[in-house]
């Protein structure tokens, strides 16, 4: 039996919020501790060398990491989970399921780090990718070649939140006997469960919503295919792309409040998206929760929420700079998915390396800002954004921070 597979009965039928706290991995089996201890050990005493225990060396397995891996497998509805040193470690490990001569069809609206691995690392190993607009299923199917092994999707995409039909992609993949891989970082299993929609492999940067506190870098993989699980287990052990003990614990700690955080931040994001539309100076708002968003209905058909990330276009880099210098509440930073709101400038951050024409063609203009909504009061956030966009802030953020102590 595959070591990560939990046969716990009952867990499957519980609601998500309950499952986060009661999934069979929340209590330490040795001591009964209500928080899985940090098993800060690299090696394990073998009482009987002919019958080694479950754990021998922590690259192959560690009880703290195992609890997280089984938890994410339960939450995504897979047979096995893997915790890796970062989202990119998880993605890179998954890409090494492929070999020289293999080909992948990939969303062209992709996380920059994934784009870098696909264009700078995998070609050296003889693994090629074709980038297509996966919101158009015809284009996905047309890009499939005789040597294609997988379709790789991010939905909603970053930062303009284009929605790809996950059921449709999985159907095409099955017709062509290739696998579907989905980066589910923006939605988390709280809102979107790609395995239930026919995907084979789910990927997370758990650095974002899953951990949720801007204090850990972490990545997760889940599959519902036993053969893929066995191969990933071998790769994780061979490559050593494991998540450390402390970071496994922090990721589990964050995960417990995932639903409460996602629900609250999503409700605020919806309010802020509507509010931004009424502010003069905001030319466009991208949020799948808005009825006018082209992916609105599709998103509602495959996910139970619209998430806490939105973006808006101020029309020029001058206005962006003014807002970034005046805004008080969101931190100005890369990353997303935390308890504090995070405002990012994709043109200078996530998409800085992309040629300008390509970037603008993807809607990542010089005036676009991405907001990851945290747990501050939505009215305060909107008020802060409004004053900053309209240039009504009397104090710089530095002066303001100095004044609140």
CA distance 400 to 395: 6
Nearer to ligand PLP, 322 or 351 (CB): 351
Residue nearest ligand PLP (C-beta atom): 87
Question: By CB under 6 A, is residue 86 in contact with ligand PLP?
Answer: yes
Question: By CB under 6 A, is residue 185 in contact with ligand PLP?
Answer: yes
Region from 43-51, 107-115, 129-137, 320-328 binding ligand PLP, contact rule CB under 6 A? 107-115
**How far, in Å, are 282, 325, 328, 332, 380 from residue 395 at the CA level?**
22, 10, 9, 16, 16
Q: Which of 5, 28, 59, 263 is catalytic?
A: 59
* Beta-sheet pairing, 201-205 with 219-223: antiparallel
Is 208 tagged catalytic?
A: yes
Question: By CB under 6 A, is residue 184 in contact with ligand PLP?
Answer: no
CA distance 196 to 200: 9
Is 5 tagged catalytic?
A: no
Min dist. Cβ of residue 91 to ligand PLP (A): 6
Region from 10-18, 84-92, 140-148, 320-328 binding ligand PLP, contact rule CB under 6 A? 84-92
Nearer to ligand PLP, 164 or 185 (CB): 185
Region from 24-32, 44-52, 82-90, 228-236 binding ligand PLP, contact rule CB under 6 A? 82-90
Nearer to ligand PLP, 19 or 65 (CB): 65
Structure tokens at 303: 């996910």
Q: Which of 109, 183, 247, 366 is catalytic?
A: 183
Nearer to ligand PLP, 205 or 326 (CB): 205
Binding ligand PLP (rule: CB under 6 A), the pick from 217, 220, 309, 378 is 217
Region from 18-26, 202-210, 255-263, 379-387 binding ligand PLP, contact rule CB under 6 A? 202-210
Nearer to ligand PLP, 252 or 382 (CB): 252
Sign of the torsion formed by the C-alpha atoms of 5, 11, 12 and 15: negative
Q: Which of 111, 152, 287, 345 is catalytic?
A: 111
**x-or-dash string of contact with ligand PLP, 275-294, rule CB under 6 A:** --------------------
Structure tokens at 195: 């395995």
Q: How many residues bind ligand PLP (CB under 6 A)?
A: 15
Question: By CB under 6 A, is residue 152 in contact with ligand PLP?
Answer: no
Question: By CB under 6 A, is residue 207 in contact with ligand PLP?
Answer: yes
Nearer to ligand PLP, 202 or 382 (CB): 202
Min dist. Cβ of residue 13 to ligand PLP (A): 30
Min dist. Cβ of residue 295 to ligand PLP (A): 16
Binding ligand PLP (rule: CB under 6 A), the pick from 55, 111, 115, 191 is 111
CA distance 189 to 374: 18
Residue with tokens 């599959």: 223
Q: Residues interacting with ligand PLP, by CB under 6 A?
A: 86-88, 111, 113-114, 154, 158, 183, 185, 205, 207-208, 217, 219
Active site members: 59, 111, 183, 208
């Amino acid at each position: 039996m595959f070591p990560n597979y939990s046969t716990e009965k009952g867990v499957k039928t519980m609601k998500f919020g309950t499952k986060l706290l009661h999934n069979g991995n929340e209590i330490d089996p040795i001591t009964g501790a209500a928080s899985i201890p940090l098993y800060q050990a690299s090696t394990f005493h073998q009482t009987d060398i002919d019958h080694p225990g479950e754990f021998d060396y922590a690259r192959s397995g560690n009880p703290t990491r195992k609890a997280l891996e089984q938890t994410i497998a339960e939450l995504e509805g897979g047979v096995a989970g893997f915790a890796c040193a970062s989202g990119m470690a998880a993605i890179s490990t998954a890409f090494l399921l492929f070999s020289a001569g293999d080909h992948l069809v990939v969303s062209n609206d992709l996380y920059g780090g994934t784009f870098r691995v696909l264009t700078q690392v995998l070609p050296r190993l003889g693994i090629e990718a074709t980038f297509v607009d996966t919101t158009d299923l015809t284009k996905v199917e047309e890009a499939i070649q005789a040597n294609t092994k997988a379709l790789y999707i991010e939905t909603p995409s970053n930062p303009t939140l284009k929605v790809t039909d996950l059921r449709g992609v999985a159907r095409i993949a099955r017709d062509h006997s290739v696998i579907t891989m989905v980066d589910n970082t923006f939605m988390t299993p709280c809102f979107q469960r790609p395995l239930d929609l026919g995907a084979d492999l789910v990927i997370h940067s758990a650095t974002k919503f899953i951990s949720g506190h801007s204090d850990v870098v972490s990545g997760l993989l889940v599959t519902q295919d036993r053969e893929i699980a066995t191969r990933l287990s071998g790769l994780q052990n061979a490559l050593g792309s494991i998540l450390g003990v402390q970071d496994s614990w922090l990721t589990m700690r964050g995960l417990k409040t995932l639903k409460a955080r996602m629900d609250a931040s999503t409700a605020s994001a919806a309010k802020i998206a509507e509010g931004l539309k009424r502010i003069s100076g905001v030319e466009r708002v991208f949020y799948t929760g808005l009825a006018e968003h082209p992916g609105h209905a599709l998103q509602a058909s495959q996910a139970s929420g619209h998430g806490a990330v939105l973006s808006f276009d101020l029309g020029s880099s001058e206005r962006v700079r003014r807002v970034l210098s005046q805004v008080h509440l969101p931190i100005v930073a890369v990353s997303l998915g935390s308890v504090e709101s995070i405002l990012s400038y994709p043109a200078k951050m996530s998409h800085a390396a992309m040629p300008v024409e390509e970037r603008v063609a993807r809607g990542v203009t010089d005036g676009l800002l991405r907001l990851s909504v945290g747990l501050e009061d939505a009215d305060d956030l909107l008020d802060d954004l409004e004053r900053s966009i309209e240039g009504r802030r009397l104090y710089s953020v530095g002066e303001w921070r100095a004044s609140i102590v």
